[in-house]
Structure 1
């Protein structure tokens, strides 16, 4: 439990029925409230958190933080503030000030959540770890996870994302990481940034918050030649280049990925229980940090061996006659290319890629779909079911069937055979419905 002074921490309090709060959980979802929670009532597009104040209190909330004075009641544990996000952010700042462990902050166009999970699995073999839950990586998400930080942890692991220029710098300066990690740079949100170079600058701005004498690990595929890093931070690289501080020397893909890592001129063999090779690259910062914390090889190996992708991020589902790869969370350009390349490396007689339209490439559709078409044409070991208007021009390819929507694909009655099925799309396309259909076979899940 954590205890704080309402007026000292929140700063923008209008009035309050409580002076001190002792809490165990911060939440914005009344369904998650339990004994000892603080419920922050946010007004959203679809609902208003103020409508759930009574429910939260009945479930054991020690306090509700609100902005609508119409709901203020002197007989209930309520704090009326001007801005709930600002109040929560200040609570997060207070927690960070109390935290004596080290902070790892991850950004990148792809791989943030899996890198965070791998770091947690490896480092927790020997250390107490706080892993920021879910993929809470925007301003609100970071406020939530810092407000919930375990003050007794030796390492806290966060991820940060961006929708607009300046957000990475702001979040990094708020978190002040001891260790920063850039997993890679891709075309996600390119419509808002205008070029890959501007996206790269945004990701590299994580360096502005890294502590003096801190470390910034960067995927060696990221061009950093034009960026002036702040003085006092140690920039290191990871990937496949022999010039990097840690790199993969050899990699073999079968049902799993076996790879040899070179770190400080020593070679180590590791395994990821998944056929997608990018997870091996995502593991490199964890391996390096573990060795730097005097971990034994066996401890690192054991942590990596426990890694399983979460639902929608490369999750493998085995049915009687199918292997389904549920990769329905992200469909950025680089993520799609990587998934297709990984599918191609799998040794199987029948491989099918079901792709939805790419996301977050506004203004660059023609260029990126043209590049994707060339990639699809080269992969003659894969048959593609392409869903969405953006794929119309792909119909001339011999290894492609085009469908205008999910229903048309299902009604074509072609998803019943055996084989390895990659289902790749963004969250908004709800391709998890196709995953369910593949799992159930004859039953229509849509």
Structure 2
């Protein structure tokens, strides 16, 4: 982009306009340490640092222009563009870039399942077209713009994940992305500490509609009453396991590393084997089929895409080390995702023990005790031999599970559990590991793999 384009997009003012010339920006960076070519530096202020402090270091990294919210030139070698707020300018620039590329945009939000849904949709669509998607968890007001900046003229569709912790956050993201298709996977309890109730979470997720194009489609989990009751009618499509949905599944059969089902759509039926376990994967596949049909992919292409799906790291990854089968679902956790993971363990066929290692779920606030107890209540109907819990609130899971004659033992932290790992994990065991990201359960996974 030409510098003048950027100034217009961010409603900025160049403090040294004599330097603009015919300069073009080919790279955008938020990291003062990163080497770029003809780059624009956007300094953001965080809780612990302000990147404005590093403006004088970026010229040697290939940066030729910088935004700033401080009305002064720090380095006269840089074209300096003054804006009122660099974080808002980042969003404004992303909105401008997004408009430059003609493609379909699919936006996904929900309490759980955003990433696996994004991956399944992207994999199915990639069988027919060039797909641009959110990488990792770049789904906030910084990650979404960085994702959009990576769009190319070859991309036919963008599949964008939108996360949030507070009201108003998805509103900002959807106004930047302007989706053709908006998806809400479910309304759970993630971030209930900030949003107050599931009704509050619903309100925050529905913000995704604020940027939806006029003739856009809305795909919602029709097994979730809160979402069904929120339906606006025309343009709303439901998917789920119940036959009342427009896209639904029957004949679900579970395997250790896959799940098969018959998917029913308004246009066709699909006999599928999904290469990842769990009932939740059937729903993820249903919504992927719905998106593919809206974008007019043919049945053969859709089926080919489904079989190409691969689980992302730390998300329902199944492997065997030292005769121990590990179900690594440690990326994050909420009540709903805990329950879904426990069902995968419950249905796992094995000659050894079924062991659950569960940790704290974060951002539950005053609901923490009750929601951890809810997970413990699940053990009433589970065929699980052993439960180990780790953390502060996870003890509530153990205490509740013990009421149903489940062998359960609690550890105050992962280091204590790892110390006795050879006593707790035996050959032939199938071990599910799940906790919120901040618990660092990947260290337990590595210890089991090493057998120490």
Secondary structure of the structure 1 residue equivalent to 2:145: helix
Structure 1 gap segments, 5+ residues each: none
- Separation in structure 1 between the aligned mates of residue 446 and residue 328 of structure 2, nearest angstrom: 10
Using the size of structure 1 for normalisation, the TM-score is 0.90
Contact 2:220 2:236 in 1 (8 A): yes
Query: 1:109: how far off?
Result: 0.4
Query: 1:351: how far off?
Result: 1.8
For residues 269-302 of structure 1, give each alpha carbon's deviation from its aligned partner in whole angstroms, at most 9, with x where no partner exists.
Answer: 1222222331221122221222333323332222
For residues 91-240 of structure 1, the aligned pairs below 5 Å read 91-223=93-225, 224-227=227-230, 229=232, 233-240=234-241
Query: 1:252: how far off?
Result: 1.4
For residues 91-131 of structure 1, give each alpha carbon's deviation from its aligned partner in whole angstroms, at most 9, with x where no partner exists.
Answer: 11211222221111101001111111111111121122221
* Residue 389 of structure 1: aligned partner: 392
* Residue 242 of structure 2: aligned partner: 241
- Separation in structure 1 between the aligned mates of residue 364 and residue 395 of structure 2, nearest angstrom: 17
Query: 1:170: how far off?
Result: 3.7
Using the size of structure 2 for normalisation, the TM-score is 0.89
Moved more, 363-372 or 410-419: 410-419
Evaluate the alpha carbon distance shift between residue 303 and residue 80 of structure 1 in structure 2; reply closer, same or farther with a 3 A threshold. Answer: same
- Separation in structure 2 between the aligned mates of residue 279 and residue 88 of structure 1, nearest angstrom: 35
1:399 aligns with 2:407: yes
For residues 2-56 of structure 1, give each alpha carbon's deviation from its aligned partner in whole angstroms, at most 9, with x where no partner exists.
Answer: 8762321221335244366534443323455433443322233344434555664
Secondary structure of the structure 2 residue equivalent to 1:358: coil
Evaluate the alpha carbon distance shift between residue 3 and residue 294 of structure 1 in structure 2; reply closer, same or farther with a 3 A threshold. Answer: farther
Structure 2 gap segments, 5+ residues each: none
Contact 2:379 2:406 in 1 (8 A): no
Query: 1:265: how far off?
Result: 5.8
- Separation in structure 2 between the aligned mates of residue 237 and residue 296 of structure 1, nearest angstrom: 21
Counting matched residue pairs gives: 440
For residues 346-385 of structure 1, the aligned pairs below 5 Å read 346-349=348-351, 350-385=353-388
Evaluate the alpha carbon distance shift between residue 121 and residue 4 of structure 1 in structure 2; reply closer, same or farther with a 3 A threshold. Answer: farther
* Residue 284 of structure 2: aligned partner: 282
Contact 2:91 2:176 in 1 (8 A): no
Evaluate the alpha carbon distance shift between residue 208 and residue 71 of structure 1 in structure 2; reply closer, same or farther with a 3 A threshold. Answer: closer
Secondary structure of the structure 2 residue equivalent to 1:316: strand
Contact 1:328 1:423 in 2 (8 A): yes
Query: 1:219: how far off?
Result: 0.6
For residues 128-150 of structure 1, give each alpha carbon's deviation from its aligned partner in whole angstroms, at most 9, with x where no partner exists.
Answer: 22212222222222232233333
- Separation in structure 2 between the aligned mates of residue 409 and residue 57 of structure 1, nearest angstrom: 49
RMSD, aligned CA: 2.5
- Separation in structure 2 between the aligned mates of residue 25 and residue 117 of structure 1, nearest angstrom: 26
Query: 1:182: how far off?
Result: 0.7
Evaluate the alpha carbon distance shift between residue 203 and residue 7 of structure 1 in structure 2; reply closer, same or farther with a 3 A threshold. Answer: closer
* Residue 430 of structure 1: aligned partner: 440
Evaluate the alpha carbon distance shift between residue 315 and residue 380 of structure 1 in structure 2; reply closer, same or farther with a 3 A threshold. Answer: closer
